[in-house]
């Protein structure tokens, strides 16, 4: 392991909570595609499968920030364990309904309840932020590492989920996703030493929405467009591979997409970058948008794989910088919720992009479907250009937040935060 990565794991408990986070995040890449595969295998109704996948994304987008807000107030252990049990129970209910051939409305009911699954990635990044508060370079490396873990999950998660559901039994993919979730969350919450200190709501304190932060609004809107890129690329690539007569190769081509991001994240974590993170973020968004254009010209699967690998190179660095900007634009007491809001924007975008791409593919074919990620990337650039100045502006009351934290014995260094990534 390169020395900067080895250095961050010198902190007691860091390796353990990061591994637990890997297991806890695997369901993110397995559950949605697992439900689609399961329903299509059992019923043959792709419309129902897509509707359930969209229901899961919408539910997670709505419930995720609420769960993370409770985590910031009461701590990870007290909140994550009960909501995980609810999500697991809902998952079991869905599998039972599918096996028994229950009415469709029961599928939607249980799928919506699964959406209370916690944002494990935000929980892990909050622990890194607690350990390396004010140490910009170490936190940059830690965020880069977690982006690598994210991409590894997205490389192997769909392959495992689809493979199990198609070769073993239809419910196998979602079932294993639930097992991973239980292992990851309960292992993570057993590690109390690295758990961020909760910040209960004080009497008379206003519970203002984090979306009042102009900087966070820009990031969330940009992530809606970014999610539309991801969701549309997935759908169109599967359709393109099917048109080429090699539908099974779609998972490998998409794995190459994630591999490009994974490698870029690994290199990005080794760099000691200076300058404003907001500029690097805008550059990353622009690079991601431009990298979508070659997809329109890929006439076969090998060329598509190369184009997607190149496109993936801009993802992880942009994600890492986004997390640094979130930390700079939300109060320390609401960091987990702030990180979850970006995931919410991403989930909404994935649902929108998947739906739009499916409509275009049905109407005009797979090659035309790549117009959707191109347009989505352009939308992200527009948001970035219009909101760039808001990302450079210090977050309101950030200094006041630092004073409160200093008073409670856990002060932070504002300059260190601004230099993250």
**pLDDT tens digit sequence for 106-164:** 999 999 999 888 888 888 988 888 888 777 778 878 887 887 888 788 777 877 887 78
Contacts of 394 (CB under 8 A, 6+ apart): 328
| Cα atoms in the Cβ-side hemisphere of radius 13 Å centred on 250 | 20
Is the Cβ–Cβ distance between 243 and 366 less than 8 Å?
A: yes
Tokens 């260094």 correspond to what residue?
A: 413
Is the Cβ–Cβ distance between 208 and 200 less than 8 Å?
A: no
**Cα 160 off chain centre by:** 19
Q: Provide the pLDDT for residue 65.
A: 81
Is the Cβ–Cβ distance between 30 and 158 less than 8 Å?
A: yes
User: Left (φ > 0), alpha (ψ -120 to 50) or beta: where does 13 sit?
Assistant: left
d(CA 377, CA 222): 9
- The pair of three-digit structure tokens given for residue 415, joined into one six-digit string: 């300059």
Quick one: fold of 12-198? Growth Hormone; Chain: A; (1.20.1250)
Under DSSP, is residue 13 helix (H, G, I), strand (E, B) or coil? coil
Q: Residue 407: count other Cβ atoms within 10 Å of its Cβ.
A: 9
Q: Which whole-number Å values give the CA distances from 366 to 48, 236, 245, 300, 374, in the listed order?
A: 21, 6, 13, 12, 14
Res 358 pLDDT > 80:
no
Is the Cβ–Cβ distance between 231 and 353 less than 8 Å?
A: yes
Q: Provide the pLDDT for residue 211.
A: 65
Most confident of 204-218, 270-284, 305-319: 305-319
CATH superfamily to which 209-407 belongs: MFS general substrate transporter like domains (1.20.1250.20)
- The pair of three-digit structure tokens given for residue 223, joined into one six-digit string: 């992530």
Q: Provide the pLDDT for residue 268.
A: 79
**CATH 1.20.1250.20 in the chain, residue ranges:** 12-198, 209-407
d(CA 278, CA 231): 25
Q: What is the pLDDT of residues 79-108, one digit of tens each?
A: 999 999 999 999 999 999 988 888 989 999
Dihedral in degrees, nearest 10, Cα atoms 104, 106, 108, 109:
160
Tokens 């758990």 correspond to what residue?
A: 195
Q: Provide the pLDDT for residue 93.
A: 94
| Torsion sign over Cα 405, 411, 415, 421 | negative
């Amino acid at each position: 392991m390169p020395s900067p990565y080895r250095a961050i794991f010198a902190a007691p408990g860091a390796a353990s909570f990061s591994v637990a986070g890997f297991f806890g995040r695997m369901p993110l890449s397995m559950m949605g595609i697992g439900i689609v595969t399961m329903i299509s295998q059992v019923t043959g109704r792709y419309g129902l499968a897509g509707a359930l996948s969209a229901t899961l994304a919408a539910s997670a987008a709505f419930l995720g920030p609420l769960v993370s807000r409770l985590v910031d107030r009461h701590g990870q252990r007290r909140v994550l364990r009960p909501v995980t049990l609810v999500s697991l129970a809902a998952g079991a209910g869905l599998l039972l309904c599918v096996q028994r051939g229950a009415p469709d409305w029961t599928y939607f009911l249980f799928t919506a309840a699964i959406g209370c699954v916690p944002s494990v990635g935000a929980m892990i990044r909050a622990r890194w932020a607690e350990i390396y508060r004010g140490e910009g370079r170490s936190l940059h490396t830690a965020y880069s590492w977690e982006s690598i873990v994210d991409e590894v999950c997205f490389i192997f998660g769909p392959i495992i989920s689809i493979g199990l559901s198609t070769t073993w039994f239809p419910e196998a993919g979602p079932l294993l996703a639930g097992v991973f979730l239980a292992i990851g969350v309960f292992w993570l919450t057993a590690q109390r030493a690295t758990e961020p200190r909760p910040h209960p709501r004080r009497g008379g304190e206003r519970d203002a929405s984090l979306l009042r932060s102009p900087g966070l609004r820009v990031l969330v809107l940009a992530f809606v467009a970014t999610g539309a890129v991801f969701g549309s690329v997935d759908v169109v690539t599967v359709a393109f591979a099917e048109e080429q007569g090699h539908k099974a190769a779609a998972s490998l081509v998409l794995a190459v997409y994630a591999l490009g991001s994974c490698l870029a994240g690994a290199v990005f974590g080794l760099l000691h970058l200076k300058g404003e993170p907001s500029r690097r973020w805008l550059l990353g968004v622009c690079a991601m948008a431009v990298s979508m254009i070659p997809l329109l010209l890929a006439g076969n699967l090998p060329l598509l794989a190369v184009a997607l690998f190149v496109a993936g190179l801009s993802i992880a660095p942009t994600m890492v910088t986004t997390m640094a900007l979130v930390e700079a634009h939300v109060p320390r007491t609401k960091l987990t919720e702030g990180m979850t809001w970006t995931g919410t924007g991403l989930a909404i975008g994935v649902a929108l992009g998947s739906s739009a791409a499916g409509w275009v593919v049905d109407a005009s074919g797979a090659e035309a479907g790549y117009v959707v990620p191109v347009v989505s990337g352009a939308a992200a650039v527009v948001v970035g250009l219009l909101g760039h100045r808001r990302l450079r502006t210090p977050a309101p009351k950030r200094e006041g937040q630092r004073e409160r934290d200093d008073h409670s014995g856990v002060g932070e260094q504002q300059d260190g935060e601004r230099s993250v990534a």
